[in-house]
Amino acid sequence: MKVAVSILSADFANAWEELKVIDSDVDYYHMDVMDGEFVPNISFGAHVIKCFRDKTTKKFDTHLMIRNPKKYIKDFVNAGSDMISFHLECDDDALEVIDEIHFYNKLAGIAIKPNTKVEELIPYLKKADYFLVMSVEPGFGGQKFMESSLDKIEKLAKWRQAEKLNYLISVDGGINDKTSKLVVDKGIDFAVVGSYLLDKKDPHKKMEILKNI
């Protein structure tokens, strides 16, 4: 399992000082962008991502929790995003958003909230590069993992094998040393991890645990 570290859990007054300690072990940095409308929280925009870009060579996985992602894709590409996911529940047409992301030669992902049926992703299995299963309600970090996400991960893995496809499967929310074992067993490729790693208690050891599961 690869690990995408959510910078949302970092202390933004000293964010890079905190993150660089584990930078060598990080696979991706996960950027949670929230507009205060699609989800009940406001986080940060493209400018913050751009500020981090020259700090590391690791890939940036930008997760757009916004109503109209299509018109902002160029901004997040220019900020340094390598992968961009948006929500199937947003107001824009999913295929148009995927095409916009691919226009800039970036990986396109589709995220779904806990109450969205995974079957709604079937029309996009051959279009998107990865799928993000939310195992908490999007908006705030530190929530408890929802085990209902396990069935969604398992189905995505089975569909991938049956159709001989190459998309990646990701999960976000409540991932720690215990829940990571559950998602790995179901076929996850990379997990978004935030508060478990960035609570200032031996992040190196915790990263090692996650990588060895």
Q: Mark whether 32 is an active-site residue.
A: yes
185-208 per-residue burial string, b: 16 or more CB within 10 A, e: under 16: ebbbbbbbbbebbbeeeebeebbe
Q: Mark whether 172 is an active-site residue.
A: yes
Catalytic residue among 11, 23, 25, 32: 32
Catalytic residue among 61, 129, 172, 189: 172
Angle between helix axes 149-163 and 179-186 (nearest 10 degrees) is 30
Q: Please provide the DSSP assignment of 112-139 as one string.
A: E-TTS-GGGGGGGTTT-SEEEEESS-TT
Q: Quick count: other Cβ atoms within 10 Å of Cβ 181?
A: 13
Q: Active-site positions?
A: 32, 172
